[in-house]
Amino acid sequence: MRQRLDMPARITHSLRSHPAKWLGGSLALGLTTTLLMRRSPKAPRPRRGWRGTLFALALSAGRPIIKTWLAGQLKQFLVMQLRPNSLWRTLANPPGTARRP
């Protein structure tokens, strides 16, 4: 009874005694799954010219710089809004400079 319920041992024994069947079964299952789960082909995208490619590359290269700059601006804005009488406001508007209304 104990041997019948010990599933890990049974699978290990089966793998060692019939490796070709397990390999063939896994290959067949992988192929079947691939064929059944295949997506329908997408419509081809129109090709962009060299200007579009250059613009896409520039945008990809500039995205981290733009994100860093925007994060800094947002941080500065939030600090000014959340702490109106703090040291940050004093540092942003040193004495002797005109404050905006």
Model pLDDT for residues 8-38, shown as the tens digit of each residue: 888 899 889 999 999 999 999 999 998 888 8
Supply the range of the domain harboring residue 67: 50-101
CB 51, CB 45: distance < 8 Å: no
62 and 94 share a domain? yes
54 and 94 share a domain? yes
> In the prediction, which pLDDT does 86 show?
57
Between residues 58 and 41, the one the model is more confident about: 58
- Can you give the pTM of this predicted structure? 0.36
43 falls within a domain: no
25 and 68 share a domain? no
> In the prediction, which pLDDT does 99 show?
54
62 and 26 share a domain? no
Task: Write down the mean pLDDT value for the chain.
Answer: 82
CA distance 77 to 88: 11
* pLDDT greater than 70 at residue 46: yes
CA distance 2 to 8: 12
CA distance 26 to 75: 54
Question: At CA 88, angle to CA 94 and CA 83, rounded to 5?
Answer: 130
55 and 92 share a domain? yes
56 and 101 share a domain? yes
**Total domains present in the chain:** 2
> In the prediction, which pLDDT does 3 show?
78
44 falls within a domain: no
> In the prediction, which pLDDT does 25 show?
93
* pLDDT greater than 70 at residue 87: no
